Structure formats: structure tokens, C-alpha cells
Amino acid sequence: MTEIKTAVSGLSIPSVALGCMRIAEMSPEQVNELICGSVEEGITFFDHADIYGGGASEEVFARALALGPCRREDLILQSKCGIRDGFFDFSESHIVSSVEGILKRLDTDYLDILLLHRPDTLMEPDEVASAFTKLEEQGKVRHFGVSNQNPFQIELLKKSVKQPLLFNQLQLSLMRSGMIDSGFNVNMKVDASVDHDGGILDYCRLNDITIQAWSPFQYGFFEGVFLNNDQFPELNKEIDRLAEQYGVTNSAIAVAWILRHPARIQTIIGTTKISRVKDMAAAASFSLSREEWYSLYRAAGNSLP
């Protein structure tokens, strides 16, 4: 498994991480197999959120980890907070209490990484800064980041927060590539020229923020997957061609497309099947050529100027 070294902290993370949103209904034994099987593939990074399964995902993860032989200290555990029932909440009290709940459910003394889960327009940066400092000084959170935020939202946070914001979790896939599309279509009057994200891709590269790509197989906002989907024949034809060439599955090609970008983007996969984990982990064992990357981009329906 290839590693991504965060520039500011020196923290190294695997280029593929396992998302734990869908494990709430699994047994501890099943999750244990998923955890240990992922670790065998070099995937030691596990992404949680306090809302996944209403907290049940974190609880079953802790029970699974207690079965051994994988150890907490060998894993990187990330969780997110800030989404509540019908609103967002980045108040100091909610961030702190959320982390307390996360640590209890995960049965751990610390989180490696805490992300703010989506933006809160009522955010007071000084409150976030106070919460982050308290959690860091108490040894409860070691690193911090955000999700789904644009450059000015991050800059607003940085005005008060003293800790480096190391991560920004953003939706990215072959069929959801807006942050890439706008960079090709500068100074043009076409739909793809609309920058919905404030130049977030280049901003993160300039500021040493690691992008974490979520939903790498979705063609919309949870509308469905594009792999083996008859709606996208040209894309699947090209993916299948490259999968045969590299001796991997189509899912590995979809992940490899993200990993090929020089921004060194971490890809979060959300499968609950160890066989699929192995398939996707193979994406880190090869690198698409420039021509192959662009052929996939065009096959996804994108036109180059």
C-alpha cells in the first residue's frame, strides 16, 4: 500500500482508507474480519462519523477490535462531528461532547483525526478553536481537518484555529469531477467552467491539505454507482479494457484514476466485503499513465477544450 505523508505533521496515511458508514448492522465477528483483512492489505486507516448508524458503527467497530488480533495502536482512527437532526452545530460544547461520545463508543482514549462534518454557517471560529485546543491539550484528538468545505470557509477557520487543518473530505469520482472540470475550462462559457468549489483542488495543494475522496464510485449525490451501469457504456468499456490490461477489477481502475492525480488524494472506500477491499487495494499497486487517465476522463463524458 502506498503512503501519503502529510506535509505539516509528518503523519503518514495509506492512500486507501476504509469508510465505516455501513457496518452498523454487521456482527462484531464480521467487522473483525473486515478490519483485519483490510490491515493485511495495508489499509490501516478507518473513517467514522458520530452519525453513522446513529453511533452504532463506532460501537460495533470497538467490539470487533476487542476480539483481536489487530491492535488499536496500529490503526489510524478518524471520526467526524457537527451534523445534528436538521441542522449543523460547530459550537464548542457540541464538538467537545461529540468527541467524548465518539471516544466512548470506539473504546479508545484518543482519536488520530477529527473532522468537522460539512460547513456550519453559524460557526464561530473562536469556539471551534477553543474546542480543538481543549481536545488537543487533553490528548483526546491528535490531528484536525474538515469536510466538504471551500477555501474561504477553511481560511475563516484558520484565522482562529492554531492547529493545522490537514484534511478536507470531498466527493470525487470519475463521474463526479467538478473540482477538476472547472480547471480545464477557464475563461469559457460552458457548464463545466462553473467553479462550484472555489478552486478547492488547487487550494488544498497550495496549503498542504490532503483531500479525502468519498463515494469514489457514485455518479451523483448517492444516485448510484457507475460501474457495470448500462447508463455509462463508453466509460465502462474503457474501465474494463484497462482492468484487463492491468489484471485488476473495474473498481481498482476507478480508484487508481483518483490516486493518479498529483494532489495525492486519499480514497475512502465504503465496502463491507473483504473481497472487495482486496480488489480496491490493488489500485495502489500500479499507476495509470497520463494517456490512460485522460482516456477515462473523456470516456466519462467530459470534453477537453
Which residues are marked as active site? Answer: 52
Gap between the Cα atoms of 280 and 31, Å rounded: 18
Helix (H) or strand (E) holding 63: helix 56-65
Distances (CA, A) of 164 to 11, 167, 168: 12, 9, 12
Distance of CA 226 to the CA centre of its chain: 19
Amino acid at 186: V
Identify the DSSP state of 261: S
Q: Is 36 exposed, middle or buried (0-12, 13-18, 19+ CB in 10 A)?
A: middle
Contact 123, 95 (CB under 8 A): no
Beta bridge partners of 145: 115
Identify the DSSP state of 231: T
Q: Which residues contact 1 (CB under 8 A, 6 or more apart)?
A: 14, 15, 16, 41, 42, 43, 281, 284
Gap between the Cα atoms of 292 and 248, Å rounded: 15
Helix (H) or strand (E) holding 31: helix 28-40
